[in-house]
Amino acid sequence: MSNFCTQSISNTGEGDCRVLIAKAKSIIAVPMTNSSGVTPALDPDTDILNNAFVDAKINASKLDRWYPINNIRVATDERADNEYFTYPDGTREFLRKGPRTVTLIRSSGTPQMVKKLNSWANFDGGFYIVDENGKLRGMKNPAGLLEPFPFEDNTFNAKLVVGNDTQKFSTIVIVFDYSNLVDDGDFAVFNTDADVNLLRKEGLLDINVKTGATSTTSLGLTIDNGSGYLNDLVPQEGLVTGDFTVTNLTTSGSVSVAVTEPTPGNYVLSFSLQSVGDVLEVVISKTGIETNISTHTL
């Protein structure tokens, strides 16, 4: 039963600009504790949600990063019925809110993406919602900042639905609950700048690096992005010299390189004479790609 001695009530008037809650079209997964050890939040007084701001978030360090999950075709976001205790005389008392569950159906359903998504299953994460108007929805905290909604523990799951007689291609069904601490009355929407389309933003791409032909003056690398057939992976094209940083771990010295791409995804790093058996560390860092670190023996 409510404590009427401490309860407060609110006025019911509204201003002329009523921002209604629109259908979800994508979500942005976010760690709930950032690199500073606090919950991330957007400040409406200082943060401008433009293209540069969003790209910086997507390319930030892991704990400060935004992880867009797009290509959502069907989305439901519903709270189950509240739970009540019923006394023998038929009167009822409120016990708890029903859970609010999100179900998303994502096209482009690959097994690789299912594995990536399920990495969030046991992680202290949360999410912003991008609605069909491209606006960002989150939770207004007591300071007036927009925080991500936390996932309820142990509710996030992604499963692959393979093609069948009624569905030509595979999809991914993503299901999770909002944290039980989320109050529907704290939903808030953050407007976006005209130059950004959140519905078209992609998360960082993971790449795979394999050693090719080596010599004491060159190193061959084959680089793919993990998509495609297992025996015909899609090459990662377009990397240039400035994307590579090379260190000789054996001598602890930096190595200046010139990079060419003779065929798609196949790179040759040329450098001054090193020694047979030296181990080179290659760091690839480029906007839109997760930083990749690999080692290769000459």
The answer to whether residues 73 and 106 belong to one domain is yes
For the segment 114-140, the average pLDDT, to the nearest whole number, is: 94
The answer to whether residues 110 and 174 belong to one domain is yes
What pLDDT score was predicted for residue 13? 65
What pLDDT score was predicted for residue 108? 81
For the segment 256-273, the average pLDDT, to the nearest whole number, is: 97
The answer to whether residues 264 and 139 belong to one domain is no
Tally of structural domains, the chain: 2
Domain end marker among 180, 200, 220: 200
Q: Among 204, 247, 251, which Cα is nearest to 57's?
A: 204
The answer to whether residues 142 and 212 belong to one domain is no
Residue 8 within a domain: no
Residue 243 within a domain: yes
For the segment 34-39, the average pLDDT, to the nearest whole number, is: 97
Per-residue pLDDT reduced to its tens digit, 6-16: 667 776 666 66
Q: Which domain holds residue 286?
A: 208-297
| Domain CATH code at residue 273 | 2.60.40.1220
The answer to whether residues 156 and 227 belong to one domain is no
Q: Edge-to-edge strands of the sheet including 171-177?
A: 72-79, 100-106, 171-177, 157-161
Residue 275 within a domain: yes
- Say if residue 1's pLDDT is above 50: no
The answer to whether residues 196 and 224 belong to one domain is no
The answer to whether residues 156 and 36 belong to one domain is yes
The answer to whether residues 176 and 242 belong to one domain is no
The answer to whether residues 230 and 168 belong to one domain is no
